[in-house]
Structure formats: structure tokens, C-alpha cells
Homo-oligomer: A and B are copies of this chain.
């Protein structure tokens, strides 16, 4: 089971947008530059984030992407689901109903308990990701991003946002 690389990119990029000065937006090319990511792939992921209502765009010379709501209102689960969808990782094909000892479908009283166990685990995973907002990510990052990078980023914002 492998998660698309876009999830890592999207969370980091949304965290970058969350750290912008108020009322500022960043063009896609600049977001890609900040993390040294390829623009075409990142564009696809931002289209998904936009469709999910997590980011929005403003036009004009100072236009670009910004978060569509407060960083505290965007969870890691929402970003994950924007990119990878809401389908469970485990798909139940009801093989318990197949084979030479098969009996009428209607005789089975409920969901397959193997599927139920697998989905219970996925619910625990989702619940953890739902608890973590972009605001939490930024708060924790404050102790993990070296001061040299913080200073360089503030300087980069000045250059890129045009003072």
C-alpha cells in the first residue's frame, strides 16, 4: 500500500500558504519553486485541492493561490482525501460468497467481518489525520524549522510578494 507522493507535497504547500502574510497569495510557479517541485504535477494537485474547497485563487499581478479557509479548519485528512479520494484502501469483493459451497446471497446477514475489521483500522487512521490541522502543523514546525530557513523564507516572501 503506497500513498501518492502528491500528499506530501500538498500538505507542505498548504502549510506554506498558511504561513503567508495576511491577504497574500502565491503563484503556483512560486509554490513549486519554494520546495523545488515540478510545476505540471503540482498544478494537478492544486486543481484537486481547489475542487475540494481547500484553496482558492485570486487573479491580478498579486494573484495566486491562498487557503480557502482558516488553517485551523483544514485537516490532514481533508488534504489527503482531496488528492486520493474517499474510497477505502481495502476493497471487499465478497469472495466469501463464491465457490462450490456458495449459497443464496440473501442468506448472508451482514457485512463480511474481515472487511469490517479492515475498515475499522482505516477509521482509526482517518480519525488520527482528522485531529491534525494545518495550524497544528505550523505550530509544531516552529520548533523544527531552523531559524536560518525561517529568516530566509521571510526574505523570500518579501521578494516574491513584491514588498
Chain A residues near B (Cβ < 8 Å) = 1-5, 7-9, 11-12, 15, 33-37, 76, 84, 87, 89-93, 95-96, 98-104, 107-110, 112-115, 117-118, 120-122, 124-129, 132, 136-137, 140-141, 143-146, 148-149, 152-153, 155-156
Inter-chain CA distance A2–B139, complex, in Å, is 31
Q: A89-B1, A124-B127, A128-B120 are in contact. Are A140 and B113 (CB under 8 A)?
A: yes
A80 to chain B, nearest CB (A): 8
* Chain B residues whose CB sits within 8 angstroms of the CB of A114 once the complex forms: 8, 11-12, 15, 76, 137
Q: Are B144 and A110 in contact (CB under 8 A)?
A: yes
Per assembly, the copies of the chain total 2
Roughly how many angstroms separate A112 CA and B137 CA in the complex, as a whole number? Answer: 10
Judging by beta carbons under 8 Å apart, are B148 and A100 in contact? no
At the interface, is chain A mostly helix, strand, loop or mixed? helix
- Please state if A3 and B100 are interface contacts (CB–CB under 8 Å): no
| 19 A-B pairs with C-beta separation under 8 A | A1-B4, A1-B89, A3-B118, A8-B115, A12-B95, A33-B100, A36-B95, A37-B95, A101-B153, A107-B148, A108-B145, A109-B143, A113-B140, A113-B144, A117-B132, A117-B137, A121-B126, A121-B128, A124-B128
* Known A99-B34, A103-B146, A109-B144: A91·B153 in contact at CB below 8 Å: no
Which B residues are CB-close (under 8 A) to A121?
A: 76, 125-126, 128-129
Q: Are A100 and B34 in contact (CB under 8 A)?
A: yes
